[in-house]
Amino acid sequence: MKQWLARWGRLLRDSWESLWEDHHWSVIGGFWLTAYGLGVIGVFKQPPVFAERDVWDIFYRPIQLFMLDDSMVIDEGGIVMSWQLQIARFMSPAIAGYTAFAALSAVFNEQLGLLKLRLFKGHVVICGLGRKGDQLAKDFLDCGDRVVVIELDEGNDEIRGCQADGAIVLVGNATDRSVLRKARIDRAKCLIAICGDDGTNVEIAVHANDIIRNSRSSSNQSSTPQTDAGSSVDRPLTETDDDIVHCFVHIVDLDLRTLLANRFVGEPGDPIELRFFNIFESGARALLEDFPPDVYGGQSAQGQLHLLVIGFGQFGESVITNGARLGHYASDKRLRITVIDKDAGKKEQAFRARFPHIDEACDLKFVEMDYEGTGYLEGRLLWGTDEDCKFTLVYVCLDDDSRGLACALDILPKLRPAGTPIVVRMSDNAGLATLLQADNGAARTASQLRAFLMINDTCRRKAILNDEQDRLAQVIHRNYARRQAEAGDTAVDNPFAVRWHALPDEIKNSNRQQADHIPLKLRAIGCTTRPIKDPQATSLFEFATAEVELMARMEHERWKAERFLAGWSYAPGPKNPARKTHPDLISYDALPEEVKEIDRHAVRDIPQLLARIGYEIVR
């Protein structure tokens, strides 16, 4: 009931604010006419101040009230004024003052914003105020960040809402260097380019890169000299690169994103870190985090998990690739994925051309079927010969909300006997998605049909910045670099034994994927994490020998899947990065003992890694 009342309260407030924004000048004009009309009536009823009064004085003298001059309409002889004149003499200057204030605010709003910007440091700059940009701006503001938005369309309805929420909005082209300088991107904490076009976002990134490098060149020359690779990566985690501007660039084309990530590789001391992201990739990661297959699809130790993915657009493809990377559980059984799409045959060919070794990471099957037709998903596709449902979890990944919801509602009765959860991708928490939103968490958990809100869950501060994931990934990398240094390797021997910001994007993502898999490993042994309760405690959680071996096996399978999806394959002999071959792409049991020990080290390090970012393990 409280949530229902709060929802209606927000709706009424938003409706009132929208109505006022659309009609406030008409309301102000009505007040002007009312004040003037009362003044005319009051002057007409009032005895003349002088012996004679011209008829035009009745219409002229009320105007003086707006200028705080009532000497020509009020008799100093003590005659009682009419109530109309009493109201007019106070109402007129008040409405005149408010009008002047509103007009000056409208005229000088941008100039006032630019003046405030001169004092800003560590703010967030968002380029593009579409649905994704608007949601991001609101979430950053809710988290207490100062936000500057650059939007090309001055008629965008979201501008006034952003300004009302506290953001500074600059109307202009974000690819214009002068506009980027106005936003003070050289002093920002991060820049997010999320316009609707990949080319525009790339151009913003290029200009931002040049501006920030040029503005920081003098400070870089006077900064602390760089140290060797071993010591630079071993700095304490609390020593963050506060002066680095983190630039997040949204790229829809995944192949273009890969090319750009390989092109813009940072160097030690760089004042900017470019990171190319994709909302579908971020959404797939959030989906698997919010609705993990080993939790919502049954315990992994009980058997093989089998996912059904309906719709193979960019989001569906990202769900499959991320699922294949992470889908390595305690059961030691390969993840099965069945994909249903209208054009499955054609799309499968293109997908397998990009990921030729996908079958080494999971069992993948494509089924060409019209999911909008009647009677689809009947019989043998859903149910096995033993009358058990073949699927443990269903992801509906269609791009259209109405089609996705219709598809989910159509298969819900067929899967209800088995209780198979169905997760539907929806754009946001408005419109049709409200049908799937329960009033409380318990009801939502008990429901077989759930909604994943694409924009709400991906266009938020946590999903874009990935603070905790990146901090954990950096600790993982530092541990690796430390071990390499202890073994005698240098940056010459190992090009990855460098500081985090100088790593290629592929290696950064490898560390992030290892960080993402830690919760799965902990769930496999009945553990979870929580913020550290006693910071003074020195003892760390210790795994049993059998638990270390189980999680080391899971880690090796995860690493294999990551390598296979990156285009690597098995070949005996030394590792060959040029040909992308590796001798360790084999089963865990077949590994040499020294290689198994590397995976065990990665597992034993987990309590320490989590402690470094403020978490501890509990059973």
Q: Strands 615-618, 528-531: parallel, antiparallel or unpaired by DSSP?
A: antiparallel
Structure tokens at 283: 């959404």
Backbone angles phi, psi at 533, to 5 degrees: -80, -40
**pLDDT tens-digit map of 524-558:** 999 999 999 888 777 889 999 999 999 999 999 99
Best CA proximity match to 518, nearest among 611, 589, 592, 404: 611
51/608 Cα distance (integer angstroms): 96
Residue 44 has pLDDT above 50, yes or no: yes
Structure tokens at 311: 């719709």
Q: How many Cα atoms within 13 Å fall on the side-chain side of residue 465? A: 18
Question: Looking at 261-265, 333-337, 571-575, 584-588, which range is the least confident one?
Answer: 261-265
What mean pLDDT do residues 239-246 have? 66
Question: How open is the CA angle 65-71-72, to the nearest 5 degrees?
Answer: 80
Residue 218 has pLDDT above 70, yes or no: no
Is the domain of 295 the same as that of 164? no
What mean pLDDT do residues 567-595 have? 94
Structure tokens at 456: 């709400």
The answer to whether the CB of 300 falls within 8 A of the CB of 336 is no
The answer to whether the CB of 473 falls within 8 A of the CB of 511 is yes
Q: Strands 528-531, 449-453: parallel, antiparallel or unpaired by DSSP?
A: unpaired
Q: CA dist 3 to 8, 81, 438, Å?
A: 9, 52, 10
Residue 504 has pLDDT above 90, yes or no: no
Chain mean pLDDT for the chain: 82
Q: Which of 108, 140, 159 is the endpoint of a domain? A: 108
Domain count, the chain: 4
Is the domain of 44 the same as that of 182? no
Question: Looking at 7-16, 258-267, 305-314, 539-548, which range is the least confident one?
Answer: 7-16
Looking at the domain assignment, is residue 605 inside a domain?
A: yes
143/462 Cα distance (integer angstroms): 10
**pLDDT tens-digit map of 440-469:** 343 443 478 999 999 888 888 888 888 888
Sheet containing strand 336-341, strands side by side? 363-368, 336-341, 306-310, 393-396, 422-426, 449-453
Residue at 411: amino acid letter? I
- 310 lies in which domain range? 282-461
Is the domain of 185 the same as that of 96? no
Q: CA dist 464 to 36, 133, 190, 467, 615, Å?
A: 54, 12, 11, 9, 21
Residue 588: give its domain's CATH number.
1.10.490
More confident residue, 223 or 164: 164
29/33 Cα distance (integer angstroms): 6
Looking at the domain assignment, is residue 15 inside a domain?
A: no
Q: Mean pLDDT: which of 134-143, 253-262, 407-416 is highest?
A: 134-143
From the CB of residue 571, how many other CB atoms can be counted at a distance below 10 Å?
Answer: 14
DSSP symbols for 517-555: HHHHHHHHTT-EEEE-S-TT--------HHHHHHHHHHH
Looking at the domain assignment, is residue 588 inside a domain?
A: yes
Is the domain of 257 the same as that of 188? yes
Burial category of 473 from C-beta neighbours within 10 Å (exposed 0-12, middle 13-18, buried 19 and up): buried
Structure tokens at 60: 């002229």
The answer to whether the CB of 46 falls within 8 A of the CB of 78 is no
Please tell me the predicted confidence (pLDDT) of residue 201.
95
197/432 Cα distance (integer angstroms): 27
248/201 Cα distance (integer angstroms): 9
Dihedral angle of Cα 16, 22, 26, 28, to the nearest 10 degrees? 60
Structure tokens at 343: 């054009």
440/334 Cα distance (integer angstroms): 35
What mean pLDDT do residues 313-320 have? 95
Looking at the domain assignment, is residue 550 inside a domain?
A: yes
Query: Would you give the DSSP letter of residue 614?
Result: T
Where does 291-343 have alpha helices with state H? 293-296, 314-326
Is the domain of 388 the same as that of 511? no
Is the domain of 494 the same as that of 524? yes
Please tell me the predicted confidence (pLDDT) of residue 50.
46
Is the domain of 393 the same as that of 350? yes
Kindly report the three-state secondary structure assignment for every residue of 559-594. Answer: HHHHHHHCCCEECCCCCECCCCEECCCCCHHHCCHH
Is the domain of 270 the same as that of 292? no
The structure's pTM equals 0.78
Looking at the domain assignment, is residue 582 inside a domain?
A: yes
How sure is the predictor about 585, in pLDDT bands with cuts at 50, 70 and 90?
very high
Looking at the domain assignment, is residue 590 inside a domain?
A: yes
User: Considering the chain, what percentage of its residues have pLDDT values greater than 90?
Assistant: 40
Distance in Å from the first CA to the final CA of the chain: 36
Q: How many Cα atoms within 13 Å fall on the side-chain side of residue 417? A: 7
From the CB of residue 319, how many other CB atoms can be counted at a distance below 10 Å?
Answer: 28
CA 25 and chain centroid, separation:
37
The answer to whether the CB of 444 falls within 8 A of the CB of 438 is yes
What mean pLDDT do residues 249-271 have? 80
Beta bridge partners of 171: 151
Question: Looking at 5-14, 434-443, 502-511, which range is the least confident one?
Answer: 434-443
CB under 8 Å to 382, separation ≥6 — which residues?
389, 390, 391, 414, 415
Query: Would you give the DSSP letter of residue 435?
Result: G
More confident residue, 77 or 462: 462
Looking at the domain assignment, is residue 133 inside a domain?
A: yes
Residue 112 has pLDDT above 70, yes or no: no
Is the domain of 76 the same as that of 204? no
Please tell me the predicted confidence (pLDDT) of residue 41.
83
The answer to whether the CB of 254 falls within 8 A of the CB of 198 is no
Q: Which of 277, 301, 327 is the endpoint of a domain? A: 277
Please tell me the predicted confidence (pLDDT) of residue 140.
94
Residue 374: give its domain's CATH number.
3.40.50.720
Looking at the domain assignment, is residue 12 inside a domain?
A: no
Is the domain of 129 the same as that of 262? yes
Is the domain of 412 the same as that of 527? no
Is the domain of 552 the same as that of 536? yes
Residues in the chain, total: 619
